[in-house]
Amino acid sequence: MSGEHLIFYDGDCAFCYRAVQEILKADEKKLFDFAPLAGETAKEILIGPNARYAKEDSLVLIESYRSSGRRFWLRSRGAFRVYWLMGSYWIGWLCFLPAWMGDWAYRLVAKHRHRLRFGWERPEFQGDRFLP
């Protein structure tokens, strides 16, 4: 584990896999760790009052996930917050807008994301930034 923040993603989604690859390329400071929403890490972290996040059909970003001051971000706000944390403020500032402003587009893409295959076969991510 090397990152300060944790991104949960749909491990059965080609579109999500591509998004993780893009974040890995852009994340020069190695700020993020990654874990599938259906994985063991999600079962350990997304419990109790945070269990509702495990049921989200969305990217789930946990900012400062190793601290007691965890902050959860979902859907469009989570995606934009990733940009903000990486220093891409030109698009990251959108994480401060109300969720309804970006979530309609996020939900539209999320609804059809499993159709976007990109010639994909389910890969296995490896490395210290990927949690089970």
Provide the pLDDT for residue 116.
56
Residue 29 has pLDDT above 80, yes or no: yes
What does 44-95 look like in DSSP terms, one character per residue? HHS-GGGGGGGG-SS-EEEETTTSTT-EEEEHHHHHHHHHHHHT-HHHHGGG
Residue 13 has pLDDT above 80, yes or no: no
- Under the banding of pLDDT at 50, 70 and 90, the label for residue 11 is confident
Q: What is the pTM of this model?
A: 0.81
Give residue 65's identity as a one-letter amino acid code: Y
Residue 44 has pLDDT above 90, yes or no: yes
